[in-house]
Structure 1
Amino acid sequence: MEHFALAKEFPPASEADWRAIVEKALKGAPFRVLENQLYEGFATSPLYTGAATSPARHGQRGWLIVQPLAGASLADAERQLADDLANGATALSLDLANGPAIRKAAELGAVLDAGVPIFLAGGSTPADAAFLLAKADKTIVGTTGFDPITAFAVAGEVPADRKAALADTVDAALAIRERFPNVTPFLASSRAWNGAGGSVVDELGFTLAAAVAYWRALEAAGLSREDASRAIGFKLSASADLFLTIAAFRAIRLLWARAHEAAGVAPNEHILLYAKTPPRILSVYDPHVNMLRSTASVFGAAIGGASAIEVHPFDEAATEPTPLSRRIARNTGLVLQSEAWLSAVADPAAGSSYVETLTENLAASAWALFREVEARGGLLKALESGFVSARLQETADKRDRAIAQRKEKITGVSVFPNLNEKIAFEEPAPIIAEEAHPTVDFALPAPGTGERFAALVEAAARGVPLPELRSASRVVRDLIATGPLDVARRDAEPFEVLRQRADFALASIGSRPPLFLALLGSPPDYRARSLWVQSFFAAGGIETIVPEEGFTDVEKLAAAFKQSPAPIACLCSSNATYAELKGAAAALKRAGASHVYLAGPAALLSTLDPHDRTAVDRLVYEGCNALAILEEAQRILRVEELAEAAGLEAEDENFGAFDEA
């Protein structure tokens, strides 16, 4: 296609030409204002130049479409499994701790007969693996999901015998590699680091540190260095940030290859690289936006070289997934693979100067973090010392501030909310006290080179229930001083809490908490800012009362406010109109406004009448702490008290307040 050039009819342009135009547009502002500072510790540039071609980082073409086994009962789960397989799913994930109740290995017949790879959930135990494999033959493909260090971080506890912390999973891995050659025992996962709010660098660095810890333990138990590395796969979170996801999946391959180089062995190019959309990006409100987020996530993971991809159903944050949401989750990958042809080219991002630079920056930063963890004695010691939680919290705090200020926008929640939206919330499941560990009538040998796992498999095969297998394989644990990681956070949650309170208030009194929008001047003065203000307060569930036209007389403004049901008001117009129409804020205060907001930046305060300046309680503008302002507004409007009243009424009358709303 050398004859085909899109730019052949245009004069050539150099980077210097581009920079000259940019400098003119910036009007003296520094070039760095066009850079985007990432949580990963470096910035992206508005323009990248470099070589037109680059060697492929991976040869992956296509990926497995993973669907979870889910259902209210085993029969329901088997029906859904049959539907998934008939309609394009090519692998299944199995969470024995949170999926349908399965007590005996014989009940897994339909799962094993499906003939597709089976991925046990990350952090699964040797008992879970034995339960799955007890009735399986040696051709089974998948992973048993061992990721004990990440599981320790989530649980906030570690084995009391630190030297033998990985002994039971290593014992199981040795047996699995011998009897089930197509099963990858260990799956180093980023789920906890992502769930706790970490950056992509944190995810990559800590996940690599976990993988290396498992690698060392396997080698120490007798596997060759090469065989040990092949017993380890990776599971990364595929975020909705398209380019970061592409770069992250390419970077983990570079990091694993670098670790192999340091160990003096040839890298394993055929690693299991499992992608899953993280729960953190899901929203309860405007849940259909989750489909767009998931599409970007799958696109990034596919381009980055994932070998298996699992998508959370779009409504999962609010309710049990429906057949529709499960089908869309499955079809997201199918459409991108079979209709968008993302699987036609290996590493299609190779040669992109931006993606290559981003990949290398992520890999370099993650390698530096990995080395710091190693210098602290490895990931387990770094976890116990508090280094891991402190590092994750530092990034999480930065992200929380950006979300609160709406610098990181959540469509449908913190920006462009729809107050007329009806959300079907489910009643939270009751908290059930942890059951006592069942008594068992058999003992397991100490972990060794597979003997303990073989005994678990034998017990599962003869019908010992899963709870008893887990009880028999328990080890004594100590609590981590820093406690468990909070991995259940969702980015949208702080704003959604405000919306839920307002929805409860609506159910209680029949109207939303109101704010009077004090429009000043003519439509050209206030139109753009008016739409922004309405969206701003709607993010907190507050409905703005909008007059039919703007005011040019402050007494008429005060009279209109008095006639409205709103106890608070927000002045809205252009900066020039604020200065021209003196006394508006003061008039609202005299009319009884308990709080007066003004839409605009702090620079305009100096142009206001002194009485107006003292009457304004708070400014709202792009970049302010929106979350804090909306929380304060709800306190002024007593939204939480009304929400509590609605909750008590719901309990008394035995109805769901959200359904009524």
Structure 2
Amino acid sequence: MADKTKKPLLSDFAPVTTQQWMDKITADLKGADFERKLVWRTNEGFNVRPFYRSEDLEEVKYLDSLPGEFPYIRGTKKTNNWYVRQDIKAVNAVAANKKALDVLTKGITSLGFTFCDKVEDFNAEISSVLANIISDDVEINFSTKHGSKKLLEAVVAYLKKTNRDLSKVKGSVNFDTIGCLTTSGKSCKSFDEMFDHAKEVVEAGKNLPNFKTIAVNGKLFNNAGSSIVQELAFALSMGSEYLAQLTERGVSVNDAASSMKFNFGVGGNYFMEIAKLRAARMLWATIVKSYKPAGLEPTKMAIHCETSQWNKTIYDPYVNMLRTQTEAMSATLGGADSLTVQPFDTIYKDSDVFSERIARNQQLLLKEESHFDKVVDPSAGSYYIENLTDNIAKEAWALFVEVEEKGGYTAALKEGFVQAKVAEVADKRKKAIATRRENLLGTNQFPNGNETVAEVAGNVSSCTTKCCSGDTVIEPIVKFRGAEEFEALRLTTERAEKTPTVFMLTYGNLNMRLARSQFSANFFECAGYKTIDNNGFDTVEAGVEAAKAAKADIIVLCSSDDEYVDAAPAAFKAINGEAIFVVAGAPKCADDLKAQGITNFVNVRSNVLETLQGFSKELGL
């Protein structure tokens, strides 16, 4: 019997209103502007506040839905188990099969076979690749830029020959004619012929009810530097285009919607990525339902996630493991049906046994040790994540509607609208990395000055075939990584005959010279330059003599603003043009120093990339 004398734990504490919180925050800010200091403006087009409360969810309508219930914001099923996928380059069918059988004993439950070259005989290729892979608990996925219909027919023929129950075989084919057009800009066929072929692929997969035959690759935008809202909105537009074109060609809504799998990239914005997947399911369910399918099953979105390449780096590559781990957490907490964690070294060389093992185990750790598969949608009810979900859904829907008003995805692509939107955000993100407002640890912030990678960078065997060799009909979206420009700068330094030396001329105020020498060393090491720090010199002339003795190419004066008034001109005169002179900081006397010919300053407002590129050019690298 319950003890009625016991009171709720917090009953002795008076409730705190939102206004009380705001009053406390305002007092602690001591006059600073709340909006500028604590409100974050996202690339997605909305503001994020520093705290949320229950009243912020009053306008959100879907909170009562359960996992497995329309509109599936909390997931399309009542469990959170997902397929652990590893992709294998099928350069040699027998070798690919051997590797597949091996990784199936190491925790993999989903296989992705990528056919790198044109396949002349899919029947023979599929028989070799799938030999002895008989479990219905294992997904089998295929990626090819050519012959998807023939591939599917070969898969069906092989499964029938081996007496498999076709209704139980799960997997997909990465057929995405719209995606190929988006990334290549080329089309071998007219748009009508493209979608006629899409219909043929869907019909070829009818014997495999649990096989997804149309891929919607939102990851293309993710790896081109888009915002999360853009990735979601444009993926929905691609899916809607397939849906409209297939139904116009006589494919039922149920068959068209059920044939699709959405492939999303997952980046480093942890909570945003969770919210993206939740919003994606809700919006896609709404779109499909508008076509009046028979039942709600076709309104479920099938989601495969792949860790993003956009934020991965060649330098300090082990940090990529940390990046992919948080991305894997976002994908699984967000309710992905399957996930590929890319090995940490995959962007610059062929992955090996070690890196592939780590990538597998990152998912297995989430399952076996963290039990992420035991709880469905654990973020549900979080004031913060529910607001992110709602905001992402609203912004993505608004952009989706804008695309539809232009005539759909392919019409917007031909107009250049999609490319312009992605480029706008990508350029903004490039600038953020160049100015270190967005950090890539080990690349544009805290680089390892002793690291060299020139010998291994670029040793990736080709496994791509052109979507089409026809004429360019639209401007393609360009895939790139945020670190590329910094890496190119540093690789140039690494391959130069002589590595530039940067000498820290530390003088005067102890705290300021230490802080500025550390900042400057970090700054110049981003270009791969050798830096020499010092404890301090009694005079700037002594510092300049030591710098010349060290054969410094760049001399950085590190002192306090007050001391720069006299110290900077003295150092500049003593150097006498024998090295590049730089002042660390943004002193109030900067204009006076510039009038005396001192033009180089490095500080927190510097565009690190452009500044270093300028020094490299001046040094003849």
- Give the TM-score category using the shorter length: 0.7 to 0.9
Q: Which amino acid aligns with 1:520?
A: Y
- 1:485: which partner in 2? 477
Q: Residues 72 and 148 (structure 1 numbering): CA distance in 2 closer, same or farther, change over 3 Å?
A: closer
- 2:112: which partner in 1? 93
Confirm or deny that 1:38 pairs with 2:42. yes
Aligned to 2:395, the other structure's residue is in SS state: helix
Q: Residues 88 and 617 (structure 1 numbering): CA distance in 2 closer, same or farther, change over 3 Å?
A: same
- 1:439: which partner in 2? none
- 8 Å contact kept, 1:314–1:329: yes
Q: 2:8 & 2:522 partners in 1: Cα distance?
A: 45
Q: Which amino acid aligns with 2:142?
A: L
- 1:595: which partner in 2? 580
- 8 Å contact kept, 1:74–1:100: no
Identity %: 30
Q: Residues 611 and 252 (structure 1 numbering): CA distance in 2 closer, same or farther, change over 3 Å?
A: closer
The correspondence of residues 61-460 of structure 1 with structure 2, limited to 5 A, is: 61-70=80-89, 73-97=92-116, 104-105=124-125, 106-110=127-131, 112-113=133-134, 115=136, 116-121=138-143, 125-137=148-160, 138=166, 139-177=168-206, 179-265=207-293, 267-268=296-297, 270-423=300-453, 424-426=455-457, 428=459
- 8 Å contact kept, 2:202–2:256: no
Q: Measure how far apart 1:309 and its partner are.
A: 0.4
Q: Which amino acid aligns with 2:169?
A: I
Q: Which amino acid aligns with 1:20?
A: D
- 8 Å contact kept, 2:89–2:115: no
Q: Measure how far apart 1:432 and its partner are.
A: 12
Confirm or deny that 1:496 pairs with 2:487. yes
Q: For 2:611, which of 606, 629, 633 is the aligned residue?
A: 629
- 8 Å contact kept, 2:86–2:340: yes
Q: 2:192 & 2:91 partners in 1: Cα distance?
A: 40
**Runs (5+) with no aligned partner, structure 2:** 58-62, 67-72, 161-165
Aligned to 1:274, the other structure's residue is in SS state: strand
Q: 2:606 & 2:503 partners in 1: Cα distance?
A: 20
- 8 Å contact kept, 2:96–2:129: no
Matched residue count? 589
Q: Measure how far apart 1:359 and its partner are.
A: 1.0
Confirm or deny that 1:531 pairs with 2:518. yes
After superposition, give the CA deviation of every residue in 1:121-169 in whole Å (9 maximum; x if it has no partner): 3866334433444412424211112221011111211254222321112
Confirm or deny that 1:605 pairs with 2:590. yes
Q: Measure how far apart 1:569 and its partner are.
A: 1.4
Q: Measure how far apart 1:51 and its partner are.
A: 5.6
- 8 Å contact kept, 1:236–1:274: yes
Q: Which amino acid aligns with 1:332?
A: Q
* Greater Cα shift, 210-219 or 610-619: 610-619
Q: 2:121 & 2:359 partners in 1: Cα distance?
A: 24
Q: 1:428 & 1:197 partners in 2: Cα distance?
A: 24
Q: Residues 603 and 321 (structure 1 numbering): CA distance in 2 closer, same or farther, change over 3 Å?
A: same
TM-score, with length taken from structure 1? 0.82
After superposition, give the CA deviation of every residue in 1:317-354 in whole Å (9 maximum; x if it has no partner): 12110101101111111111221111221111111111
After superposition, give the CA deviation of every residue in 1:176-200 in whole Å (9 maximum; x if it has no partner): 12x1111111121112212222111
Q: Which amino acid aligns with 2:536?
A: G
Q: Residues 560 and 368 (structure 1 numbering): CA distance in 2 closer, same or farther, change over 3 Å?
A: same
Q: 1:377 & 1:90 partners in 2: Cα distance?
A: 40
After superposition, give the CA deviation of every residue in 1:404-444 in whole Å (9 maximum; x if it has no partner): 11111101111010021243515657999999xxxxxxxxx
Q: 2:590 & 2:325 partners in 1: Cα distance?
A: 44
- 8 Å contact kept, 1:554–1:587: no
- 8 Å contact kept, 2:94–2:128: no
Aligned to 2:158, the other structure's residue is in SS state: coil
- 8 Å contact kept, 1:282–1:317: yes
* Greater Cα shift, 44-53 or 277-286: 44-53
Q: 1:341 & 1:383 partners in 2: Cα distance?
A: 42
* Greater Cα shift, 558-567 or 348-357: 558-567
- 8 Å contact kept, 1:140–1:180: yes
- 8 Å contact kept, 1:70–1:99: no
Q: Measure how far apart 1:313 and its partner are.
A: 0.4
After superposition, give the CA deviation of every residue in 1:450-481 in whole Å (9 maximum; x if it has no partner): xxxxxxxxxxxxxxxxxxxxxxxx99954214
Q: Which amino acid aligns with 1:623?
A: R
Q: Residues 141 and 24 (structure 1 numbering): CA distance in 2 closer, same or farther, change over 3 Å?
A: same
Q: Measure how far apart 1:580 and its partner are.
A: 6.5
Q: Measure how far apart 1:603 and its partner are.
A: 4.1
- 2:74: which partner in 1? 58
- 8 Å contact kept, 1:156–1:480: yes
Q: For 2:543, which of 557, 571, 585 is the aligned residue?
A: 557
After superposition, give the CA deviation of every residue in 1:270-317 in whole Å (9 maximum; x if it has no partner): 432100012222111111000000011110011111010001100111
Q: Residues 363 and 603 (structure 1 numbering): CA distance in 2 closer, same or farther, change over 3 Å?
A: farther
**Runs (5+) with no aligned partner, structure 1:** 436-473, 640-661
Q: Residues 185 and 396 (structure 1 numbering): CA distance in 2 closer, same or farther, change over 3 Å?
A: same
Q: Residues 249 and 492 (structure 1 numbering): CA distance in 2 closer, same or farther, change over 3 Å?
A: same
Q: 1:554 & 1:634 partners in 2: Cα distance?
A: 25
Q: Measure how far apart 1:581 and its partner are.
A: 4.1
Q: Residues 401 and 316 (structure 1 numbering): CA distance in 2 closer, same or farther, change over 3 Å?
A: same
Q: 2:340 & 2:224 partners in 1: Cα distance?
A: 20
Aligned to 1:556, the other structure's residue is in SS state: helix
Q: Residues 95 and 567 (structure 1 numbering): CA distance in 2 closer, same or farther, change over 3 Å?
A: same
Aligned to 2:85, the other structure's residue is in SS state: strand
Aligned to 2:487, the other structure's residue is in SS state: helix
Q: 1:78 & 1:226 partners in 2: Cα distance?
A: 34
- 8 Å contact kept, 1:191–1:237: yes
Q: Measure how far apart 1:6 and its partner are.
A: 8.2
- 8 Å contact kept, 2:232–2:280: yes
Q: Residues 498 and 7 (structure 1 numbering): CA distance in 2 closer, same or farther, change over 3 Å?
A: farther
Q: Measure how far apart 1:526 and its partner are.
A: 1.6
Q: 2:609 & 2:181 partners in 1: Cα distance?
A: 33
Confirm or deny that 1:515 pairs with 2:545. no
Q: 2:118 & 2:55 partners in 1: Cα distance?
A: 49
Q: CA RMSD in A?
A: 3.0
After superposition, give the CA deviation of every residue in 1:526-574 in whole Å (9 maximum; x if it has no partner): 2222212111111111121222x21241221222222121122112123
Q: Measure how far apart 1:253 and its partner are.
A: 0.6
Q: Residues 71 and 430 (structure 1 numbering): CA distance in 2 closer, same or farther, change over 3 Å?
A: closer
Q: Which amino acid aligns with 1:420?
A: N
Q: Residues 353 and 111 (structure 1 numbering): CA distance in 2 closer, same or farther, change over 3 Å?
A: farther
Q: Measure how far apart 1:114 and its partner are.
A: 5.6
Q: 1:192 & 1:143 partners in 2: Cα distance?
A: 18
Q: Which amino acid aligns with 1:192?
A: L
- 8 Å contact kept, 2:568–2:583: no
TM-score, with length taken from structure 2? 0.87
Q: 2:436 & 2:394 partners in 1: Cα distance?
A: 30
- 8 Å contact kept, 1:73–1:101: no
- 8 Å contact kept, 1:554–1:583: no
Q: Residues 352 and 604 (structure 1 numbering): CA distance in 2 closer, same or farther, change over 3 Å?
A: farther
